[in-house]
């Protein structure tokens, strides 16, 4: 991959304490972004990453501990994004989690938290960051969606719907902002080795074959290149780009039945 020089002075990455978010922070630091704000709930993990980035790359890493499902905590992150004196020119909305299982049995409060994190926080943080970026005529937002956004997904109904929101929201903003110098990119990872599956509920990802798994570092590198190139969408990994091209022409009804069969979460016992 042709690695461009990164144009940003300060990035803010949510969900930076593990997985794709930590890999994104490392990718940005290793490629010379001088200042990175790290957001998540686990302070110790954020402190350790901040020390690693400072030592390894001279990055000025700021830890901003926040539960993004808590409006008061989220507001602190919104204020940081809107602070005129310390402008953030790359916002990475990465924090997210998925629930799985038959929807009618899932904990409704957990479903609401999933929407609060995967959707509401993405909207609120983008809304906080964009006015300053538009005024300055430069800046980018990277939203982490998922391949699960591309088709109805029995067994992960709320999760895939939140990610469909993220993709459409990002693409709509991309067009709204055309000509402003500000871009919005959605990255749609497939199976990626992170802590995601520790929190996902009833679905076991262990049965997924080895060849479908990507490393968080690959997802991060391809996503950052897509933002630099000003692209609206990024599907990391050749395998997933091919799968996307093959399934796109299938009728929606066929795609949802197919996923229902594969997932084993359909209640149709005929």
User: Catalytic residue among 11, 128, 139, 159, which?
Assistant: 159
We find the least distance from the C-beta atom of residue 179 to ligand NAP, in angstroms, to be: 29
Q: Footprint of ligand NAP on residues 33-52 (CB under 6 A)?
A: 40-42, 45
**67-75, 176-184, 221-229, 246-254 -> range binding ligand NAP (CB under 6 A):** 67-75
Number of residues in contact with ligand NAP under rule CB under 6 A: 30
169 binds ligand NAP (CB under 6 A): no
Tell me whether residue 159 is one of the annotated catalytic residues: yes
- Per-position DSSP letters for the chain, written without gaps between them: ---PPP--SEEEEESTTSHHHHHHHHHHHHTT--EEEEEES-HHHHHHHHHHHHHHH--EEEEEE--TTSHHHHHHHHHHHH-TTS---EEEE-------S-GGGS-HHHHHHHHIIIIIHHHHHHHHHHHHHHHHT-EEEEEE--GGGGS--TT-HHHHHHHHHHHHHHHHHHHHTTTTTEEEEEE---SEESSGGGGSTT---TTS-GGG-EEHHHHHHHHHHHHHTT-SEE--SHHHHHHHHHHTTS-HHHHHHHHHHHHT------
Given 10, 13, 21, 25, the residue binding ligand NAP (CB under 6 A): 21
226 binds ligand NAP (CB under 6 A): no
13 binds ligand NAP (CB under 6 A): no
**19-27, 101-109, 123-131, 257-265 -> range binding ligand NAP (CB under 6 A):** 19-27
191 binds ligand NAP (CB under 6 A): yes
Residues of this chain that interact with ligand NAP (CB under 6 A) are 14-21, 40-42, 45, 67-69, 94-98, 117, 144, 146, 189, 191-192, 194-196, 199
Active site residues: 159
């Amino acid at each position: 991959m042709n690695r461009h020089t990164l144009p940003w002075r300060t990035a803010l990455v949510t969900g930076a304490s593990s997985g794709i978010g930590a890999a994104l922070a490392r990718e940005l630091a290793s490629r010379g972004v001088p200042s990175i704000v790290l957001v998540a709930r686990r302070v110790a993990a954020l402190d350790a990453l901040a020390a690693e980035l400072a030592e390894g790359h001279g990055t000025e890493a700021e830890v901003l501990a926040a539960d993004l499902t808590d409006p008061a905590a989220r507001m602190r992150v919104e204020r940081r994004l809107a602070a005129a004196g310390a402008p953030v020119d790359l916002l990475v909305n990465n924090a997210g989690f998925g629930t799985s299982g038959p929807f009618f049995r899932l904990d409704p409060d957990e479903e609401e938290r999933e929407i609060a994190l995967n959707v509401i926080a993405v909207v609120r943080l983008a809304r906080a960051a964009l006015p300053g970026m538009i005024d300055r005529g430069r800046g980018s937002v990277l939203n982490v969606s998922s391949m699960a956004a591309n088709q109805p997904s029995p067994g992960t109904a709320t999760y895939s719907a939140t990610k469909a929101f993220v993709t459409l929201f990002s693409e709509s903003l991309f067009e709204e902002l055309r000509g402003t110098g500000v871009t919005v990119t959605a990255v749609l990872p497939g199976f990626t080795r992170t802590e995601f599956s520790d929190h996902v509920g009833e679905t076991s990802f262990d049965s997924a074959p080895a060849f479908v798994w990507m490393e968080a570092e690959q997802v991060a590198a391809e996503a950052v290149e897509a933002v630099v190139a000003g692209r609206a969408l990024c599907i990391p990994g050749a395998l997933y780009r091919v799968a996307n091209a093959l399934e796109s022409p299938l009728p929606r009804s066929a795609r949802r039945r197919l996923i229902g069969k594969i997932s084993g979460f359909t209640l149709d016992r005929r």
